[in-house]
Structure 1
């Protein structure tokens, strides 16, 4: 699994001109799933994200997690994170998991975050989405699950 984590002041996702998920302060997640990902990778990344200290404390140091600051999460599935652009000019998405594998794992990943007490809004799996974000900092990190 691969997750792009963006610290945000606000984020939202719109499908067919309707906002289906929105948050204030928190984390915007773009979530990519590959063929060999399992609940083990999802659990690792949920734990990592819930505790990731990228919010500033009273001294101005990145020392607080999304949980510590009472923030929320907007999680959006994004198979294009596994796009391979090394050959030619058209990306190959062979490394991205098929929807029938990816969607249940994406849903489970979001549930794992909720089980940690986080409020999690989501996009719509497989839909054409408009994602809006006010990246705060900017702070953007790319997290990969460890090799199995």
Structure 2
């Protein structure tokens, strides 16, 4: 799994004109774009959720767990795009939907079980994501 994390002061994900998940404006939180590959499993999703929840990238070196910061989780298969050859990315390393969706859900559920307030996008949907990156701070989490 790859989790591209952005510290935000607001974020929203829209599907077909409807906002399906958001971090309210002027609220520091985390936007987590989640990519899944073929050998990922629920244990890895749980470990990454724990890492994200405790990651000290918010103001004053605090974590989301320290201040109860909200987290917006959005599936993002393109994190496994390969651009080493040619001009067209390949997506072979990205797990197919039936494998990826349960693991993205597992990641979000693991965050909730830790006490996080989590909202999500819609797996496989055409989503529009708006955000205000705070800092900017963007980090990649992998195991």
TM over 0.5: yes
TM-score (norm 2): 0.96
- Misfit runs of 4+, over 4 Å: none
Matches within 5 A, 1:42-81: 42-57=45-60, 63-81=61-79
Segment drifting more, 125-134 vs 63-72: 63-72
* 1:85 Cα offset (Å): 0.6
1:123 matched residue in structure 2: 121
Alignment partners' CA distance in 1, 2:30 and 2:59 = 14
* 1:56 Cα offset (Å): 2.0
Unpaired segments of 5 or more residues in structure 2?
Answer: none
Instruction: Let me know the Cα RMSD of the aligned residues.
Output: 0.7
Unpaired segments of 5 or more residues in structure 1?
Answer: 58-62
* 1:40 Cα offset (Å): 1.7
1:38 matched residue in structure 2: 41
Alignment partners' CA distance in 1, 2:96 and 2:120 = 19
Alignment partners' CA distance in 1, 2:114 and 2:5 = 17
Alignment partners' CA distance in 1, 2:39 and 2:67 = 34
2:37 is equivalent to residue 21 of structure 1: no
Secondary structure of 2:64's partner?
Answer: coil
* 1:44 Cα offset (Å): 1.3
Could you tell me which of 109, 134, 137 is aligned with 1:136? 134
TM-score (norm 1): 0.92
1:60 matched residue in structure 2: none
Secondary structure of 1:68's partner?
Answer: helix
> What count of residue pairs does the alignment treat as equivalent?
140
* 1:36 Cα offset (Å): 0.2
